[in-house]
Amino acid sequence: MERILNKKTAFITGGGQGIGRGIALKLAEAGANIVIAQRNQETAKSVIDEIQLMGREATAIYIDVTDKESVEKCIAKSLKAFPEIQIIINNAGSLQKNIGDFTSESDFDLCYNVNLKGIWNVAVQFSEHLAKHRQGKIINISSTGGRGPDPLFPAYCASKSAAINLTQSLAIKFASHNVNVNAICPGIIWTPMWEKIEQFLCDENRLTSNNNGAIFNSYTKQIPLGRPQTSEDIGNAAVFLASKYSCNITGQSIDIDGGELLASSTRP
């Protein structure tokens, strides 16, 4: 991969596994140094090792994106280690614990605190830094689930939809500082989050949980390009949005879904 992010530094929440891991590795391949900010420091270790083998600098710092004080401390430590962080990836996310439950207040609190307030907390704490340097890229990871309703995931979908709207507001707010703010909406990707969905659907349909992702595979058959997405796909999009080639793109939310949403809109 061309090193279009050479000498840049990226701050990624939840970068130790799943989509975040794919983003971290792709940004590192493109030349960026990486700060992985997340609660579980153990899962970040293998990613840090891989990045360092590429010859990049990388570190992991604890953060709870729902807690303002934790975010402040994490960003202060990050900027001490890398004073010129230019790329901010808000990837940390949470699925509701009670899939299919519309009545769970705790699920709405969880999804909104992580998926929406987490983005806001990070953006607020980085705002002075970005304004000072008059450059930067903020990339928020939303979801195609934020494009419409789903009775199985009402709290999750609502929070991801709100994240798209917040991205647009932040894009306008940060434009005067020469900062681009965009969102990526991943489609169907086999991650620890999808494993939970698979387990729930197996239980609902009285299927064994070791069905080798049969339900996931049935969803992928609805994708026009005929294949699921990968964390590397999301990473490639993040590299583009973090690079100079996206300098005139802001306030956008890009679906990485193989055309699935497009096809669903044409079905009777």
Residues designated catalytic: 156
**Percent composition of the chain: helix, strand, coil (DSSP 3-state, to 5):** 50, 15, 35
| Residue 132 vs residues 86, 87, 127, 177, 178: alpha-carbon distances, Å | 11, 14, 9, 8, 10
Please, what sign has the CA dihedral across residues 28, 128, 76, 162? negative
When computed from its CA atoms, the radius of gyration of the chain, rounded to whole angstroms, is: 18
In angstroms, the CA 179 to CA 197 distance is: 36
Nearest partner of 58 among 91, 90, 92, 23, judged by Cα: 23
In angstroms, the CA 195 to CA 23 distance is: 20
